Structure 1
Amino acid sequence: MYEDVRYETEDGIATITIDRPETYNAFRERTLEELNDAIRRTTDDDAVYVVILTGAGDGFCAGADVTEMPDWSSLTKEEYAGYLWTVQNVVRQLRGTPKPTVAAVGGPAIGAGCDFALACDLRVMGEGGILREGFVNVGLVPGDGGAWLLPRLIGESKAREYLLRGVDIPPAEAVDVGLATTVAEDPLAEARSLAEELLSLPALAVRNTNRLVDPGMTFEDYCERAIEYQWECVNDPEHDEAVAAFREKRDPEFDREY
């Protein structure tokens, strides 16, 4: 049903692939519409427990396709805001979904493409993957979330360095500063292995734990929210099964329909 995006589900894992390898998966307006729709589908599908975001070929997402960008001089500020909102909404949805997300970054993740990767909960880098905000290099600001995401992920000082210099973050450095879990020869396979690990855990506990990670919360807000989330988990059948499996020294068997 898509032209620029592939959407596949298997055994509780949804894989969204930006499929424009001839442009290193740079996006056009159609790509954004399809990407937003695909992420929305993962949120709405009860049979999806973990989401992987990746790019086809040797890329992840090289940002906007400059050959297919709108003519900015012909747009009003409101029209431009509408376009940018569509880009931001990819980040908004990735940040907002209750389901854990893993980015498999096998190639350049540049500009908004970098923000798409940073918006995921976890990142696996390929040996040819790079992260680069890079907006300052073309006279722009990180309008898609980068200046909000990076300080929360790695701290203000290091974030400013990457944002103001517009430099590449190579794979090993991404791991060192905490932006990626590992560097893998096959980042998609590694991302799927990570997704399967998350899938083996009680789903509600994973989701609620993920929702509790919010640097903007006060401790008191955290405690109140934790009570609500923990009560949900206490009454979850997968909690009962996980406890029983622990006592019986076996792997849990969750009743799920993929």
Structure 2
Amino acid sequence: MPEDIRYETSGGVATITIDRPEVHNAFRRETILELNEVLREAASDAGVYSIVLTGAEGGFCAGADITEMPDWSEEMTEEEYAGYLWAVQNVVRQLRAIEKPSIAAVGGPAVGAGCDFALACDLRVVGPDSFLREGFVRVGLVPGDGGSWLLPRLIGEAKAKEYLLTGKDITPRDAVDLGLAVELADDPIEQAIELAHDLLELPALAVRRTNALVDSEQSFEEYCERAIAYQWECVTDPEHAEAIAAFGEKREPEYDRDYS
């Protein structure tokens, strides 16, 4: 059983909670291993249709717990450090690779890699006591977990460099105004779960394939080729037929699903 991560499923929504509130949900090595494992579980579970990532006691993740970390340059080789950092990066890899929509519920500090975990989700809901901070430059490091790749794609290069190079906070209101967060909510976890359930009311394959099509690295022609393949999958999907029938009959669609 995981010690640092709570993993719960209900009605098709998987809620992943980083559970170290005594350190603002900062992570240690075990946390990262457990987080990678539950993300794999959520991705492979056919009864999970959307994912909410959050932190215990209404927070999020304050990055690496420096009290649990070794003296990198004294106790690890470059190869060993690369292996550790790869595992942290793999949380971001997985969040970006999962076609099931993911929502970060950010109620408190999202700092360093914690900020990058939030940025790697498809959508973000922020709370009034939250902030996002890359902050690596403040401690003489670079954004090693994806921030310098993710943030410019979300808010534009010039504005991203302001936050990356100064390490200053992205406030909840700024996050909404920049389009980084979809909503500022008093209870971001409750709102994120509500949003996750809203997505469940839509044809699941269409949601997943639409999510996958949003890829700034592909050319337009690559997009068109993928869209043809995905559209055919959707055309032959029973949930598409049910959605069309429900629309014609002026009723809510009823999808035949087994939820975790």
> Where does residue 101 of structure 1 map in the other structure?
102
1:206-243 C-alpha deviation (Å, 9 max, x unpaired)? 00000000011111111001000000000100000000
Separation in 2 of the partners of 1:37 and 1:71? 26
Paired residue secondary structure (1:15): strand
Aligned pairs, number: 258
> Where does residue 214 of structure 1 map in the other structure?
215
Paired residue secondary structure (1:113): helix
Give the aligned residue type for 2:29.
Answer: E
> Where does residue 12 of structure 1 map in the other structure?
12
1:71: how far off? Answer: 2.4
> Where does residue 163 of structure 1 map in the other structure?
164
Structure 1: runs of 5+ lacking an equivalent: none
1:234-258 C-alpha deviation (Å, 9 max, x unpaired)? 0100000000011111111000011
> Where does residue 69 of structure 2 map in the other structure?
69
Separation in 1 of the partners of 2:171 and 2:234? 39
Query: Is residue 22 from structure 1 mapped to residue 27 from structure 2 by the alignment?
Result: no
Alignment of 1:20-169 (within 5 A): 20-72=20-72, 73-169=74-170
Question: Is the 1:88–1:145 contact (alpha carbons within 8 Å) kept by the matching residues of 2?
Answer: yes
> Where does residue 187 of structure 1 map in the other structure?
188
Question: Is the 1:111–1:142 contact (alpha carbons within 8 Å) kept by the matching residues of 2?
Answer: yes
TM-score when normalising by structure 1: 0.99
Question: Is the 1:136–1:164 contact (alpha carbons within 8 Å) kept by the matching residues of 2?
Answer: yes
> Where does residue 224 of structure 1 map in the other structure?
225
1:19-76 C-alpha deviation (Å, 9 max, x unpaired)? 0000000000010010000100000100000000000014200000000012212211
Paired residue secondary structure (1:48): coil
Structure 2: runs of 5+ lacking an equivalent: none
1:153-183 C-alpha deviation (Å, 9 max, x unpaired)? 1111111111001000010100000110010
Give the aligned residue type for 2:230.
Answer: Y
Separation in 1 of the partners of 2:158 and 2:25? 30
Separation in 1 of the partners of 2:29 and 2:200? 33
Separation in 2 of the partners of 1:42 and 1:177? 29
Moved over 3 A (4+): none
Question: Is the 2:58–2:189 contact (alpha carbons within 8 Å) kept by the matching residues of 1?
Answer: no
Q: CA RMSD of the aligned region, Å?
A: 0.6
Paired residue secondary structure (1:63): coil
